[in-house]
């Protein structure tokens, strides 16, 4: 056993919480992340305006900017929109921020209710529209349509918001606005999950996207539970049946020869159709509980090992991380950089997903009380601690190796977040902890969309997973 492993083992068996008292983001840093995220959400007082040709769009309260800026000198893309997917993920993270006003959630619901009722041009469906102007009208420019993970993410956000509002005595608002909106989205998902759709990176049209199906499955299962509250047995049956069909279809994404789940089933060598971080994001965003079997699925773990291995060599800044931390991007052959499409970079939200996965596995195994190392996930565990895991085995909670691995998961998650944090920038307002969508693979500078809401959301969900992992 390597010395370092032995040290982790000793520390872990003595006092897990004490060892991890030093959090990768301090309370002050977390509150900066939270305020940068909230700054992208419009309210009645916090209004955005967007000049566009001859018109000026004014935000409807509840609009969530994907990022804080329209195009600039080194950023040719326009993220000054309400993207359905990004907005839903941002809202789900907002629910984890303490003391957020209920109005933020109500505004979001009313914005989406208004967006759902807009009429699309012929041959397009409003529910599959990926992005909306900040006044809730549809953005009708050229784009990858439909993107059917969006309504699923939105339904998940609605269901979580409904639970929050109900607990605050807002049943009428839930019944009047949220319930019909959930049904609209989930009836659409139930009838469209096999229809060709673009992936979450908006590049490949296919019938089978791992990420989309994971979040659609989750939305339908949660939706069925929600419908059961209202005795809507027809929908309960429909949503449950569709969720089961989706679950069955996921197995086809496993490629035994490659050793990973591919994002699509038909475009494996196109852009992100093969090895892609969206599979990991599917596990994080699409699981239903801390003990959902998809988290510790051996094939998922093999996929994550393949991602880490694939990215470790392609970004020069990774060579400078003395603790071996690997920053990862969307998929290895990516060349989207938000500007001239020169080369791909590590993404904040993708790398933070690695940290979140480590924390969630620490909690998963702590609850399960054993760790199964198999021939399929061996490489994943060897990446974590090569000296400790030599061959497939079952490790019981009573064995010292068990606590050592739990500690190693948390320690690696911490190193990952600390490394991402080191690439923070200072905003024009003088505050720290600003991040762009990507980190330049050569210089380490923030590139592409500034202040990406989803990037901030990924810090919040990773730190929430950490909180649960250290105090299970
Ligand atoms: C591009 C990303 O690929 C997509 O996933 C995201 O929704 C939009 N940017 C907006 O952030």
The secondary structure element, H or E, covering residue 56 is strand 55-58
Give the separation between CA 266 and CA 434, rounded to whole angstroms. 38
Q: What is the pLDDT of residue 289?
A: 97
Q: What is the pLDDT of residue 2?
A: 35
Cis before 136? omega within 30: no
Stretches where the chain sits below pLDDT 70 are 1-18
Residues classed as catalytic: 199, 202
DSSP 126: G
CA atoms within 13 A on the CB side of 338: 24
Pocket probe mutation, ligand 1, options 86, 282, 435, 447, max atoms within 8 Å of Cβ: 86
Looking at ligand 1, which residue's alpha carbon is closest to its atom 11? 66
The neighbour count for residue 98, using CB atoms within 10 Å, is 6
Q: What is the pLDDT of residue 17?
A: 53
Pairing between strand 436-439 and 446-450?
antiparallel
119 Cα: distance to centroid of ligand 1 (angstroms) = 23
Supply φ then ψ for residue 247, to 5 degrees. -55, -45
The secondary structure element, H or E, covering residue 356 is helix 348-368
Q: Among all chains, which residue has been given the structure tokens 């490489």?
A: 379
Q: How buried is 69 (Cβ within 10 angstroms: 0-12 exposed, 13-18 middle, 19+ buried)? A: middle
Q: What is the pLDDT of residue 18?
A: 64
CA 188 to chain centre: 22
Classified as helix, coil or strand, 205 is: strand
Q: What is the pLDDT of residue 267?
A: 94
Looking at ligand 1, which residue's alpha carbon is closest to its atom 5? 201
**Radius of gyration (C-alpha) of the chain in whole angstroms:** 22
Q: What is the pLDDT of residue 9?
A: 38
CA 178 to chain centre: 23
Length of the chain: 472
Pairing between strand 49-52 and 55-58?
antiparallel
Contact 339, 288 (CB under 8 A): no
Of 158, 155, 159, 162, nearest in space to 190 by CA:
155
Q: What is the pLDDT of residue 13?
A: 38
- Ranges of beta strands (E only) in 59-144 are 82-83, 131-132
Q: Among all chains, which residue has been given the structure tokens 């397009």?
A: 124
95 Cα: distance to centroid of ligand 1 (angstroms) = 21
Q: What is the pLDDT of residue 449?
A: 96
Q: Which atom of ligand 1 is nearest to the CA of 66?
A: 11
Looking at ligand 1, which residue's alpha carbon is closest to its atom 3? 201
Q: What is the pLDDT of residue 5?
A: 38
Q: What is the pLDDT of residue 73?
A: 76
Q: Which atom of ligand 1 is nearest to the CA of 85?
A: 7
Q: How far is CA 388 from CA 144, 402, 461, in A?
A: 46, 10, 29
Give the separation between CA 174 and CA 179, rounded to whole angstroms. 6
CA 460 to chain centre: 11
409 Cα: distance to centroid of ligand 1 (angstroms) = 29
């Amino acid at each position: 056993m390597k010395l370092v492993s032995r040290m982790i083992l000793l520390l872990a068996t003595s006092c897990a919480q004490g060892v991890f008292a030093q959090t990768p983001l301090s309370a002050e840093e977390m509150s900066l992340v939270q305020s940068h995220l909230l700054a992208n959400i419009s309210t009645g007082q916090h209004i955005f305006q967007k000049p566009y040709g001859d018109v000026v769009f004014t935000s409807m309260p509840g609009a969530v900017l994907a990022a804080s800026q329209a195009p600039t000198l080194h950023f040719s893309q326009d993220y000054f929109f309400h993207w359905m997917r990004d907005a839903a993920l941002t809202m789900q993270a907002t629910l984890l921020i303490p003391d957020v006003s209920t109005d933020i959630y109500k505004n979001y619901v009313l914005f989406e209710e208004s967006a759902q009722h807009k009429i699309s041009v012929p041959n397009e469906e409003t529910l599959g529209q990926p992005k909306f102007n900040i006044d809730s009208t549809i953005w009708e420019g050229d784009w990858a349509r439909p993107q059917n993970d969006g309504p699923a993410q939105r339904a998940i956000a609605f269901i979580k918001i409904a639970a929050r509002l109900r607990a605050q005595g807002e049943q009428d608002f839930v019944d009047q606005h949220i319930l019909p909106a959930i049904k609209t989205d989930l009836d659409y998902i139930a009838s469209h999950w096999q229809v060709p759709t673009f992936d979450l990176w908006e590049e490949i049209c296919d019938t089978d996207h791992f990420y989309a199906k994971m979040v659609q499955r989750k939305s339908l299962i949660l939706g069925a539970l929600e419908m059961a509250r209202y005795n809507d047995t027809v929908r309960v049956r429909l949503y449950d049946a569709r969720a089961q069909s989706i679950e069955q279809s996921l197995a086809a994404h496993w490629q035994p020869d490659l050793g990973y789940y591919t994002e699509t089933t038909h475009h494996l060598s196109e852009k992100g159709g093969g090895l892609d971080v969206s599979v990991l994001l599917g596990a994080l965003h699409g699981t239903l509980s801390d003990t959902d079997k998809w988290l510790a699925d051996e094939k998922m773990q093999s996929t994550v090992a393949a991602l880490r291995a694939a990215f470790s060599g392609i970004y020069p800044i990774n060579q400078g991380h003395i603790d071996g931390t690997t920053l990862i991007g969307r998929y290895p052959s990516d060349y989207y950089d938000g500007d001239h499409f020169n080369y791909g970079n590590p993404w904040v939200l993708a790398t933070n997903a690695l940290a979140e996965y480590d924390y969630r596995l620490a909690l998963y195994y702590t609850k399960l009380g054993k760790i199964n190392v198999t021939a399929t996930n061996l490489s994943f565990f060897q990446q974590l601690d090569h000296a400790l895991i030599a061959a497939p085995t079952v490790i019981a909670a009573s064995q010292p190796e068990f606590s050592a691995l739990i500690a190693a998961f948390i320690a690696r998650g911490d190193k990952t977040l600390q490394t991402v944090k080191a690439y923070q920038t200072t905003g024009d307002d003088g505050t720290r902890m600003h991040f762009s969508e990507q980190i330049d693979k050569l210089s380490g500078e923030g590139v592409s969309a500034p202040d990406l809401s989803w990037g901030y959301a990924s810090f919040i969900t990773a730190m929430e997973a950490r909180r649960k992992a250290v105090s299970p």
